[in-house]
Amino acid sequence: MTRAVGIVGGGHTQWGRREATWKDMAQEAGKAAFDAVPDVGPEDVEGLFVGAVQPERFAFQSHVAPLVAELLGIDVDAMIARTELACASGQAALRYAWLAIAAGQLDTALVLGVEKMNLPKSASEEAQASMTNVLDREFDGVNGLNAPPYFAMIAQRHMHEYGTTREQLAQVSAKNKNHAVHTDYAQFRDEVSVDDVLESFPLSPPLCLYDCSGVTDGAAGLILMSEEKAREVTDEATWIAGSGQSCMASNSINNLPSLSAWPQATEAAESAYDDAGIDDPLREIDVAEIHDCFSISEIVEYEDLGWVEKGEGGQFAEDGRSELDGDIGVNPRGGLLGCGHPLGATGVSQALEIHDQFRGDVPEERRVPDPETGLIHNLSGSGSVHSVMVMERERP
């Protein structure tokens, strides 16, 4: 029998192009998390889980989980790990902490996601080259296939098969960037129109600059507790109701099952929905933070998370059904397009946003009306792995 697990609070650093080091941001996010939950301190933490993708190349540092323990003054006596799953590293850390508490291995965990991606000018070529490591460097990376051209192929194929339009992609970007205007830690906080997206610099056709998430420095932290401990410190915990993950034995581009669909997302979502007792996600999910690393990603995810039929994602965006007052309020903090995408921190930040939405602790301009059920989603690598988690405002 597993135990209920609650998120009791968390915090962010500022996101963007930072002068701060990897260690600085780890300390900032750790302090912000503890400040958000005054009754929990470093001495209470039994498990520490750190999501970080490439500190070895971006910050020239490995063995980062013990480093974080030292920086934050945590004597870990039950479980410590660094998780690396490309863009899903933060959600992987969150998932492992949840499972450890649910299994009774510990009662209190700190989850931290940290990424330092902007290097000094002299090292900028290495920073860009590092991004190809997320794909199969020997086969895909050597041919120049990093994130923008890969997602451009997804967009081209989706447009070819289903008639998705350039304007529908831009609708996603404009929506999310305008949400980020009201997010104090976001990297990009300028209002953007659909025309602004369409007229931005062509990067990898059909994707333009504003269709792409940023290269971002940032960190975020969460404190998780068993139900018994959580109720001692708050009556507004967010409860993890289900989780799913899928990888269909593919990593290289040539082995992916499709260039217009991610069946892994469908499988992961169905597993999480089953855990949480969700039969109709479009009606039962109120708020979602999904992986909009590129505008096309969000459109494909509307479909493959089971909200609309295949090929209807573009129309879902065009009709405003993913707006704050639509069927599901999607990416109210601004998503990756607006907030930026510090790889290891993104999944942690998404979960914190759901928690804050449940508490009503977000600006009114981007608040989803009375949410009860939330979802976070991350893809990683070439979309070969998808991770989904469902959260509830009330104890499941």
Residues paired with residue 373 on neighbouring β-strands, in sequence order: 392
Catalytic annotation, pick one of 12, 87, 377, 386 = 87
The residue type of 12 is H
Residues paired with residue 240 on neighbouring β-strands, in sequence order: 391
DSSP 385: E
Query: 175, 169, 209, 207: which is closest to 192 by C-alpha?
Result: 175
| Structural contact between residues 299 and 168, judged by C-beta atoms closer than 8 angstroms | yes
Could you tell me which residues come within 8 angstroms of residue 318 by beta carbon, excluding any fewer than 6 positions away?
Answer: 165, 167, 168, 171
Catalytic annotation, pick one of 179, 341, 355, 386 = 341
**Cα–Cα distance, 245 to 234 (Å, whole number):** 30
CA dihedral 326, 327, 332, 337 (to 10 degrees): -100
| Structural contact between residues 55 and 40, judged by C-beta atoms closer than 8 angstroms | no
Catalytic residue status for 355: no
Catalytic residue status for 12: no
Backbone angles phi, psi at 218, to 5 degrees: 175, 165
Q: Which residues are catalytic?
A: 87, 341
